[in-house]
Amino acid sequence: MNPNVLTITLNPTVDKSSSVANIKPEKKLRCEKPKYEPGGGGINVSRGLVRLGIDTTALFTSGGRTGELLQKLLKEENVTTLPVNVAAETRENFIVVDTSNNEQYRFGMPGEALSEDEAQLILDTINDVTPFPDVVVISGSLPPGMEPGYIKKLVKLAKGKGSKVVADTSGEALTAALEEGVYLLKPNIGELSRIANKEYLDNETADDAAKELVIAGKAEVVVVSMGPQGAYLVTQDETIHIAAPSVKKLSTVGAGDSMVAGMVSVLAQGGTPVQMARMGVACGSAATMNPGTGLFKKEDAERLYNWLSKHKG
């Protein structure tokens, strides 16, 4: 079966989460039984796409016992996987919620460096995917020591196969991806400011900065994530503000990856940029309705999308 969407996660993780009341230093804290979930940008996008009924394959590095656990967790969520075996142990992140005040503490680990051979193996594995997917999503952080130019190689490879590339990373890696040019970019205001070399951007100037990226050929579609204010959709022909629906927010964790999953689900089915942006906002908003590290529920996302379509949001 042709994987319609391939996601690439170079620095995946298993998110280990628990909860305890009254977090204090130097005190033995008796936490609840831990919960384990797959993590990493592209992996979360694939998890979201499965919920939306989109054929997807998640490619990621996998090493050691944590890598085996990651593969097992993804299998439980019916995500088709393409693990690239590496020597280093896959990282874990640790999340604890203080139940006395609902504050969340998130401890992100760096992961380990990949060898040159392992980096080449990733490229070879992607190159061998047959038939090649229509959409490739490159999302998440880079492993320590990996040159940002590696992202450029990934983008060039996917574009050379005729795929539309979606980039959702940050820093120098994102800059490298844009040098090659991508189809869809989803920055927040801070990331857009850095990309556009602007000291400060707001609602009035964000769409102009995004339009400059489109004109320069760095992206065909830019969707600027504005959090509770929704998003700006910018293409060569249109600039539209998609207002976020009003929902009861319990956690913003996973909202960005959920937003990408929503947009890619429409892109994979040949939808318009406006439909893409609406579904992105719907899935991102739906993710905030769930506590902890969960993504979105399909029924919430579809209800919010229908509301946005009806109200032309």
Catalytic residues: 257
Nearest alpha carbon to residue 150 among 128, 174, 183 = 174
Residue 90 makes CB contacts below 8 A (sequence gap 6+) with: 12, 13, 14, 61, 62, 63, 64, 66, 67, 69, 70, 111
Please provide the DSSP assignment of the chain as one string. Answer: ---SEEEEESS-EEEEEEEESS--TTS---PPPPEEEEESHHHHHHHHHHHTT--EEEEEEE-HHHHHHHHHHHHHTT-EEEEEE-SSPPEEEEEEEETTTTEEEEE-----PPPHHHHHHHHHHHHT-SSPPSEEEEESPPPTT--THHHHHHHHHHHHTTPEEEEE--HHHHHHHHHH-EEEE--BHHHHHHHTT-S---HHHHHHHHHHHHHTTSEEEEEEE-GGG-EEEE-SS-EEEEPPPP---S--TTHHHHHHHHHHHHHHTT--HHHHHHHHHHHHHHHTTS-TT----HHHHHHHHHHHHHTT-
* Strands ordered across the beta sheet of 35-39: 35-39, 13-20, 91-98, 103-107
Query: Which tokens hold the place of 10?
Result: 């170079």
